Amino acid sequence: MKLWLPLLGCALLSLAIAKRVSYTEFQLYVVHPETRDQLEKLHELAQNVDYDFWDAPRLNRDVRVMVSHYDEAKFEQVLDRHDITYDPVVGNVQQILDKERATNAEFYKRAKRDSNSRSTIDFDHYWTLDEIYDYIEEMASASPMVTVFDIGTTREGRPIKAVTVSSNGEVSLERPVLFMDSGIHAREWVGVMSVMYMFHEFVEHSELYTEQLSNTDYVIIPVLNPDGYVYTHEVNRLWRKNRVQNNLLCAGVDLNRNYPFSWAFTSNACTNTFAGTEPASEPETKAMIGLMDRYKSAMTTYIAVHTSGEMILWPWGYDFIHCDNWEEHDVLGKKARDAIIAAGGNEWEVGNSADVLYKASGATDDYAYHTGARLAYTIELSGGGQNGFDLPVAQLEKAIREAFEIYKTFGANAGTLPLPTPSA
Ligand code: 0X9
Ligand code: ZN
């Protein structure tokens, strides 16, 4: 049997390259843990590669889990044994993905037809990596506020691009910087779109945002995992990690477990949260660390943009420890939450990352806080309910406008903060 494994690996690999991954044979469950024991059990199941948890298990919350039809009976048996209630909500996950793809393709075609020489700038469809890169480059040529540069190259040879926005032109390091990234998790498209929306508003309608732009500079990595992002557009919509080939069977490091602060070893390279072979093993991580190093003397605020769950989370995330200035984080987080409510959104949860969500080591937020950002948040935007990461495009604009309320609140605040004191 052993001899066949490499062959099987190669076969799977070439299949993955050639063909779009299909989720016809996958079932989506909504599971509802009601006791500590049940919660514990779900945390344990989340480590199993056969079950794709779309949400972190939380008490008395709906948790979406995708399971192949092959593993269904086994999964239901475990849930029954622990009296965990569940509903099988979608029998064929591919149907959701197809619907999103069709609408997206339709918008894409229309946008291409309508635009003459301009890049696509509608928020009615999910942008491809090329669209994102074309747009920021175009803005860099058109606006003195914008600078674009490459901060590294991925394993598959794509550039990782950063873009800065400053009403002074260049980021001088003499005034506060708000540093942010999205797309570290490939499938979390809504986050990327929200950042592109902010960029678009700040650059093309800058006169409306003097409070945000007059004393704050922005350093943005719109897609921190370009290989993964392209892979979600072209092959597997539900891919999360980067695309490094770990071994014959499994690819991908979870870049949000790869940072060299409180990095924790994980043994199974096939899991969705594989942390890499060592801290900062990945080129995307190295690129981001380099960029943060360059701006850290002015970085007052950091935002990691993710989906989903409607949460504003503050450090630490690697353990149940509140960071020193957690109250300052909490007050500002709640201000952003109020702005979302005023704009017609839900009441988001604001709190400590480990308490509200779960403990996770080696993430960007803890790294940024450790590096000297006075305020460091992870935000989890609105998701698509039973559609998972496929928020229908009809709801996209609402979700990105809500995120924009956070960016405006944090952006205005960032400019009022003193520059970090250099560490000895
Ligand atoms: O698990 C993650 O990386 C983030 N959630 S997601 O569902 N988008 O994958 C949360 C990271 C929170 N930060 C820390 N725990 N440090
Ligand atoms: Zn994420």
Closest ligand 1 atom number to CA of residue 354? 15
Full DSSP string of 234-267: HT-TT--S---B-SSS-B---GGG-SSSS-----
Query: In the chain, what are the domain boundaries?
Result: 25-91, 115-414
Neighbours of 154 (CB within 10 A): 21
Ligand in nearest proximity to the CA of 272: 1
DSSP state of 120: P
The terminus-to-terminus CA distance of the chain in angstroms comes to: 58
One-letter identity of residue 253: V
Tokens of 287: 């690129």
Q: Taking the mean position of all CA atoms in its chain, how far away is CA 62? A: 20
pLDDT of residue 111: 61
- Measure 284 CA to ligand 1 centroid, in angstroms: 17
Ligand 1 atom nearest residue 254's Cα: 3
Q: What would the pLDDT profile of 39-94 be if each residue is shown by its tens digit? A: 999 989 988 889 999 888 888 888 999 999 999 999 999 999 999 999 999 999 99
For the cut 50, the answer to whether the pLDDT of residue 3 exceeds it is no
Amino acid, single-letter form, for residue 374: R
- What CATH architecture does domain 115-414 belong to? 3-Layer(aba) Sandwich (3.40)
> 3-state DSSP call for residue 11?
helix
The Cα 100–Cα 181 span in angstroms is 24
Tokens, residue 170: 């260049």
Q: Which residue has the CA at smallest separation from atom 13 of ligand 1?
A: 317
Residue among 199, 399, 180 nearest 307 (CA): 399
Structure confidence by residue, pLDDT tens digits, 258-280:
999 999 999 999 999 999 999 99
Comparing CA positions, the residue from 206, 230, 225, 224 lying closest to residue 216 is 206
- Asked if pLDDT for residue 347 goes beyond 90, the answer is yes
Single out the residue of 215, 236, 225, 143 nearest to residue 181, CA to CA.
225
CA separation (Å) from 371 to 184, 189, 319, 336, 338?
19, 27, 17, 24, 29
pLDDT in tens, 355-395: 998 899 999 999 999 999 999 999 999 876 677 777 888 88
CA angle 153/251/62 to nearest 5° reads: 105
Residue 11 predicted with pLDDT over 60: no
Nearest to 189 by CA among 252, 103, 287, 259: 103
State which of 190, 262, 306, 311 you would mutate to test the pocket of ligand 1, scoring each by most atoms of that ligand within 8 A of its C-beta.
306
Q: What is the pLDDT of residue 55?
A: 86
Closest CA to 217 of 267, 163, 266: 163
Q: 338 C-alpha vs ligand 2 centroid, how far in Å?
A: 23
pLDDT at residue 46, rounded to an integer:
87
Residue 52 Cα, ligand 1 centroid: separation in angstroms? 15
With a cut of 80, say whether residue 315 has pLDDT above it: yes
In this prediction, residue 9 has a pLDDT band, given cuts at 50, 70 and 90, of very low
pLDDT at res. 102: 83
- The residues that are catalytic are 380
DSSP one-letter code for 422? P
381 DSSP β-pair partners = 307
Dihedral-angle region of residue 200 (phi above 0 means left; psi in -120 to 50 means alpha; beta otherwise): alpha
**Other beta carbons less than 10 A from residue 297's beta carbon:** 15
Q: Which residue owns the Cα nearest ligand 1 atom 16? A: 317
Enumerate residues lining ligand 1, CB below 6 A: 185, 256, 306, 313, 317-318, 353, 357, 360, 363, 365-366, 378, 380
Strand 299-307 versus strand 217-221 pairing type: unpaired
Mean pLDDT across 195-199:
98
Query: Side by side, which strands form the sheet with 375-381?
Result: 146-153, 159-165, 217-221, 177-181, 299-307, 375-381, 311-314, 349-352
pLDDT at residue 114, as a whole number:
58
Q: In this predicted model, which residue has the larger pLDDT, 14 or 268?
A: 268
Q: Which of 20-24, 107-111, 185-189, 293-297 has the lowest mean pLDDT?
A: 107-111
CATH class of 25-91: alpha beta
Residue 87 bridge partners (DSSP)? 30
pLDDT exceeding 70 applies to what percent of the chain?
91
The candidate with the shortest Cα–Cα distance to 232, out of 277, 192, 200, is: 192
Q: Tokens for 136, please give them.
A: 């920021």
| pLDDT (mean) for 131-157 | 97
* Confidence category of residue 10, pLDDT binned at 50, 70, 90: very low
For ligand 2, the distance from its centroid to the CA atom of residue 184, given in whole angstroms, is: 7
From 285, 357, 377, 379, the mutation candidate for ligand 1 (largest count of ligand atoms within 8 A of CB) is: 357
Percent of the chain with pLDDT over 90: 78
Residue 5 has pLDDT above 60, yes or no: no
User: How are beta strands 85-90 and 375-381 bridged, if at all?
Assistant: unpaired
**How much distance in Å is there from the Cα of 380 to the middle of ligand 2?**
7
pLDDT recorded at residue 67: 96
- Ligand 1 atom index nearest CA of 360: 15
290-305 confidence digits (pLDDT tens): 999 999 999 999 999 9
